[in-house]
């Protein structure tokens, strides 16, 4: 069976790095577009190329938006470090960015068999929709990591990818295109723990890729332990990849989703309408509620460690 064709829109980022590795294993990644979020888009673009180098792949990397539509960037340096990968030593990028025209790439290189997997703020996607309202008709669908029906992580009510650029998210959700939304309610079901990582048998323990993956998990778990007191990390961005490559492991249901733009305490909140309304059926936005977390984690460990 042919692999799904993906474009990954990303702000690498510790979990973005894992998602990129998994996407290249399970799918045909036709391109990567970068966006400001966890770190600056310049850093994110370099990180994306460095991860492609680790995978020995020449996937094109197109630089995108450097700032949200209507606010200043608020990078997640406290979680992902200033450089986006917690200062992990990786060789410098072997090549420069393919272009600084991510929007044009997303407009011109999509096809009805291409899924766009957005695992950072939705600034690029919103700009694409602003320029071409038919875009959703020209792609297979949009699988995004962001938001959630119950609370946030960057504030009590907002998840980071939405909070970073709520105006962009508002454009995307109002477009009501074929969208899979992997929110925190879903991604927090897939937790990788320090204890599990220690128990995994590494097929190639001395491989530079294994070393990066180990450093990547160690850094994010160390950071989250300091921030949250837990020794595990949710596989946020990988869920948005698996929702396309392994849909049988998920349950997504149609819901009307709106984005709060003005609330003092709720700006960036995704308001998922749980009311039984006949209009629910008209929503093309499918919100993820269930995932076979054990099956997803087994796939993650098999790809990352050859276990």
Tokens 């009501």 belong to residue:
176
Minimum gap (Å) between residue 137 Cβ and Ca ion: 26
Q: Taking CB under 5 A as the criterion, which residues in 226-265 touch Ca ion?
A: 237
Task: Considering only residues 259 through 278, tell me which ones interact with ligand RIB, judged by CB under 6 A.
Answer: none
With b for 16 or more beta-carbon neighbours within 10 A and e for fewer, the 162-176 pattern comes to bbbbbbbbbbbbebe
- Give least dist CB 59 to Ca ion, A: 17
> Which one from 14, 62, 80, 236 is the annotated catalytic residue?
236
Q: Does 119 bind ligand RIB (CB under 6 A)?
A: yes
Phi, psi of 11 (to 5 degrees): -130, 65
Could you tell me which stretch among 61-69, 153-161, 276-284, 297-305 binds ligand RIB (CB under 6 A)? 153-161
Cα 166 from Cα 203, distance rounded (Å): 42
Q: Which is nearer to ligand RIB, 154 or 202 (CB)?
A: 154
What gap in Å lies between CA 121 and CA 74, rounded to an integer? 11
Site stretch for ligand RIB (CB under 6 A), options 8-16, 212-220, 260-268, 273-281: 8-16
120 is a site residue for Ca ion (CB under 5 A): yes
What does the per-residue mask of binding to ligand RIB show for 161-200, with x meaning CB under 6 A? x---------------------------------------
Among 50, 62, 236, 255, binds ligand RIB (CB under 6 A): 236
CA quadruple 36, 37, 42, 45: dihedral sign? negative
- Out of 4, 13, 64, 183, the residue judged to bind Ca ion by CB under 5 A: 13
What b-and-e string marks burial along 15-51, b requiring 16 or more CB atoms within 10 Å of the CB?
Answer: bbbbbbbbbbbbbebbbbbbbbbbbbbebbbbbbbbb
d(CA 307, CA 304) in angstroms, rounded, equals 8
Distance of CA 255 to the CA centre of its chain: 20
- CA 228 from centroid of its chain's CA atoms: 21
What is the three-class DSSP state of 21? helix
User: Is there a catalytic annotation at residue 236?
Assistant: yes
Which one of 33, 34, 36, 38 is in contact with ligand RIB (CB under 6 A)?
Answer: 38
Q: Which is nearer to ligand RIB, 105 or 160 (CB)?
A: 160
Binding site for ligand RIB (CB under 6 A): 11, 13, 15-16, 37-38, 76, 119-120, 145, 153, 159-161, 236-237
Catalytic residues: 236
């Amino acid at each position: 069976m042919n692999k799904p064709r993906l474009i990954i829109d990303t702000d690498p980022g510790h979990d973005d790095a894992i998602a990129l590795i998994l996407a290249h294993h399970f799918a045909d990644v036709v391109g990567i577009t970068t966006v400001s979020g966890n770190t600056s888009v310049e850093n994110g673009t370099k990180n994306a190329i460095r991860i492609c180098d680790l995978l020995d792949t020449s996937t094109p990397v197109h630089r995108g938006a450097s700032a949200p539509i209507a606010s200043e960037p608020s990078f997640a340096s406290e979680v992902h470090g200033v450089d986006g990968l917690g200062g992990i030593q990786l060789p410098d990028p072997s090549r420069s960015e393919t272009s600084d025209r991510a929007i044009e790439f997303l407009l011109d290189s999509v096809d009805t068999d291409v899924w766009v997997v957005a695992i950072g703020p939705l600034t690029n996607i919103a700009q694409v929709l602003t320029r071409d309202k038919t875009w959703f008709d020209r792609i297979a669908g949009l699988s995004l990591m962001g938001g959630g029906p119950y609370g946030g992580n960057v504030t009590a009510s907002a998840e980071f990818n939405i909070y970073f650029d709520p105006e962009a998210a508002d454009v995307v959700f109002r477009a009501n295109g074929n969208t899979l939304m992997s929110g925190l309610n879903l991604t927090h079901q897939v937790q990788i723990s320090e204890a599990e990582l220690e128990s995994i048998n590494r097929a190639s323990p001395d491989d530079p890729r294994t070393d990066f993956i180990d450093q990547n998990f160690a850094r994010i778990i160390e950071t989250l332990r300091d921030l949250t007191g837990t020794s595990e990390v949710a596989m946020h961005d990988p869920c948005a990849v698996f929702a396309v490559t392994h849909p049988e492991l998920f349950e997504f249901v149609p819901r009307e989703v709106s984005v709060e733009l003005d609330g003092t305490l709720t700006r960036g909140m995704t308001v998922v309408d749980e009311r039984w309304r006949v209009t629910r059926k008209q929503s093309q936005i499918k919100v993820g509620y269930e995932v076979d977390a054990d099956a997803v984690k087994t796939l993650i460990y098999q790809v990352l460690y050859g276990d």
